[in-house]
Amino acid sequence: MTKKFICIRCPKGCEITTTLDGSGVITEITGNNCKLGIDYVKAELSDPRRTLTTTVEVIEGELPLCPVWTESPIPKDKIKELADALRAIKITAPVKINQIVLENALGTGVNVVAEREINKHSTLAD
């Protein structure tokens, strides 16, 4: 049996064809331009993961939202659930880059961290 994949590990997007034997063991991988492609296909077949990027609300911030992301990819089927969980979270400014917003998100062992700094809203008029 063969399965086709488009690798998402870099912007190239290699088209990779994988041949599997009767018990699902990979016998051949073709079309990848580098090792990342092999890792990707193996992960897609056993434990597909994705990075989640979303926003959380900021209290007293210069901006109402802070962009956040999972420090490393999490199981693909948890993406929507984590996005929903993060919608309920509020953090208080000032926010530091890479500050942990949610530790061990949904028990995945992966932290959700801030993508940028957000200063406290200035109370003085301009």
Partner 1 sequence: MALTYDVIIIGAGPAGLAAAIEAKKTGAQRVLIIERNNEPGGILTQCIHNGFGSVIFKKDLPGPSYAHNFITQAREVEIEMLFDTMVIDITPNRSIYATSKNGFMEFQAGAIVLAMGCRERTRSQIRIPGTRPAGVFTAGMVQRMVNIENLMPGKNFVILGSGDIGMIMARRLTLEGANVIKVVELMPYLTGLRRNYVQCLQDFNIPLELSTTIKTINGNNRVESVETLKVDESLKQIPGTEQIIPCDSVLLSVGLIPENELSKKAGVILDPLTGGPEVDEKMATNIPGIFAAGNAVTIYDLVDYVSEAGFTAGRNAALFASGNTISPADTIKILPGENVRTVVPQAINKQLSGNQVLIELRVTKDFPSPVKIELTDGDNVVLAFREKYARPAEMITLKINPELFMEKTAGISGALKVRAL
Instruction: Indicate whether 29 belongs to the interface with partner 1 (CB under 8 A).
Output: no
Taking alpha carbons only, the member of 71, 101, 108 closest to residue 86 is 101
DSSP state of 90: E
Instruction: Indicate whether 115 belongs to the interface with partner 1 (CB under 8 A).
Output: yes
Instruction: List the structure tokens of 91.
Output: 């953090």
Taking alpha carbons only, the member of 34, 49, 39, 100 closest to residue 79 is 49
* Segment interacting with partner 1 (CB under 8 A) among 19-27, 53-61, 102-110: 53-61
Q: x-or-dash pattern for partner 1, window 8-27, by CB under 8 A? A: xxxx-x-x------------
Binding site for partner 1 (CB under 8 A): 6-11, 13, 15, 33, 50-55, 57, 63-65, 67, 69, 76, 79-80, 83, 87, 97, 115-117, 126
